[in-house]
Chains A and B, each alone.
Chain A
Amino acid sequence: MRLLDLLGFAAGALRGHRLRTTLSVAGVAVGIAAVVALTALGEGARAYVVDQFAALGSNLLIVLPGKVETTGAAPFGGVTHDLTLDDYRAIARLPRVRRSAPMAVATDSVRYRDRGRDVPVLGTTADFADVRRLEVGSGAFLSAGDPEEGGNEIVLGVTVANELFRGESPLGQVVRVGPWRFRVVGVLAPRGQSLSFNIDDVVFVPVRTAMRVFNRSSLFRILVDVRMRDELALAKRDVEGLMRERHRADDVTVITQDALIAAFSSILRVLTLALVGIASVSLAVAGVGIMNVMLVSVTERRAEIGLLKALGARDRQVLAAFLAEAVLLALTGGVAGLAIGAAAIRVFVGIYPSFPASPPAWAVAAALGVSLAVGVGFGVWPARRATRLDPVAALARR
């Protein structure tokens, strides 16, 4: 039997039951559409986050105290040195480093008259704004100068400024952080979440001051902006070498922005796969639907099966005919599902144009492959039942 004839025969049988065919195609289509749309959204979210990170500047190295490694191997072996302002200055002098900024962090309440707000207080230097690509909304950022000097300037995140000052201009006003008084020199432009801080809800003070008033001996991080993106790995090695020399131990961790992006990317990919897994349940349901339809069809068409055998159709031709029906159902559903999924994504992108949602090629291929597998997988058993029918018994009934 020729393949085209086989498909024609199967399609003819399906056309005989339009409603039933449409419904089981719809079942598969919903499943495939869900898989495609969710993959596109998940991948879109991943791309979006990666883009956002890249926008922060992908030339970034982050130095943190302590070595990330399995603990317990040498319980008393290493002493973790503090990350000091001297370390920061040494790093800032490295030739491959364009700029560097120290970070000391504490949480305290910031008060203006009777209003107060508990926020993270970041002690840093003027270079921080450049390293993190921060924009100042009004006033200025911390002034450049010797980080050892400290000072009582403070820069407010936009949320902090709005909450404390309610429309008044904060510039030049005095706020209290704990018992200490600071003079507001600037307010940042709105920015949002960045590297585990909501920049809008943070205040910045000179690093020396922060370390003194919060009694910190160690910096929380040192951010390093590398001159050339290609030299990121080299710069990382420079920093590590420098710190090893200064501390006489391997006790700092240097991570690149790339590592962070990769981590986020893989987390989001797992989330996408989880979404797809959930959507696949609907595909399994659709497969059971196909199996049901094919079983009904085999039962209804006993006489036809008997006839085909009497006319000399081989068992495997009967099998192929019924399997072809199941596969056609599933594949039609798969193609329809792709179309529906693509349309849904288009609508979504129409509403949120900045969101880069598009189904990845592997998802499209997988959707078609899966629908084919569903057709074969759930069609085999009914088709086998058809071939096992005794033609004499099948023909005896009308």
Chain B
Amino acid sequence: MIRLEDVWRTYTVGESEVDALKGVSLEIARGEHLALIGPSGSGKSTMLHIVGCLDRPTRGRYLLEGREVGSLSEDERSHLRRHRIGFVFQFFHLLPRLSALGNVELPMLFAGTPAGERRERAAAALDAVGLAPRAAHRPDQLSGGERQRVAIARAVVMDPAVLLADEPTGNLDRASALEVMSLLEGMNRRGLTLVVVTHDPAIAERARRVVRMSDGEIQGTGDRGPGTGNDPGLPGARCPDPEPRDRG
């Protein structure tokens, strides 16, 4: 469903050029749960942005559901982001002036969904993450875990094909992190393709496949078979912690 073929991403920083991705090839199947790990600067966020159609490869091909994304217009990419891709961020990125419900309605606002249907679907999405009673609260009245669950409801309210989570637990305490992860995994079990960028080994542990990145390249892929998502206490010791500090 997601297919990267020899993808390069080069930034120009001042006079010099920096390769954030150096010929990455990766295939992600429908319904997969994949963890991208690696030190900061290893290129995992860049890869997530390319997969999420927020960024374009400098070279190489990226196919989403069989369509070459690099050749699409900006509007078509917006359309893909709106309908096929859900984002979850480390810092939640909820709009502080809107209620939880208003934040979940946001993607539908730009899709032109009528107000009544919007409210209904947003309420259902909030209910699915267990936050129906908090619908009227603004983000500053919610805990970190609750905020991330609102963000997840927002990410899935358009019923996307793939959910991209960039350090979704990076700003949460352990208990909230587990809560958020089991929520995501539950959605994954119901068919949603899930890609999680993390450098928390315990989180990566839970994925069915772990792709380790370093310095813009894929270092290794560990297929772990069926996920261990229902085992929250597991220490993630075996996952190699990223050390190399050699960034471009």
Contacts and interface: CB of A to CB of B under 8 A. Distances in A.
Contacts of B81: 309-312
Contacts, number: 72
A310 B95 contact: no
Contacts of B79: 312
B55 interface: yes
Contact of A5 (B52, B91, B96, B115): B115
B93 A16 contact: no
B74 interface: yes
Given A15-B97, A309-B54, A9 B109 contact: yes
Interface in B56-90: 74-75, 78-83, 85, 87, 89
B91 A315 contact: no
Given A2-B112, A5-B115, A313 B93 contact: no
Contacts of A391: 54
A310 B81 CA distance: 6
B55 A395 contact: no
A314 B78 contact: yes
A295 interface: no
A317 B74 CA distance: 12
Contacts of B136: none
Interface residues of A, number: 25
Interface residues of B, number: 32
Nearest to A9: B109
A144 interface: no
Given A310-B52, A314-B78, A391-B54, A304 B95 contact: yes
B110 A308 contact: yes
B110 A312 contact: yes
Interface in A52-69: none
A236 to B, nearest CB: 68
Contacts of B158: 312
A392 B49 contact: yes
A304 B89 CA distance: 12
19 contacts: A1-B110, A1-B111, A2-B112, A2-B114, A5-B115, A16-B96, A307-B95, A308-B106, A310-B54, A310-B87, A310-B93, A311-B87, A311-B107, A312-B79, A312-B107, A312-B111, A314-B75, A392-B49, A395-B54
Interface of A: 1-2, 5, 9, 12-13, 15-16, 303-304, 306-315, 317, 391-392, 395, 398
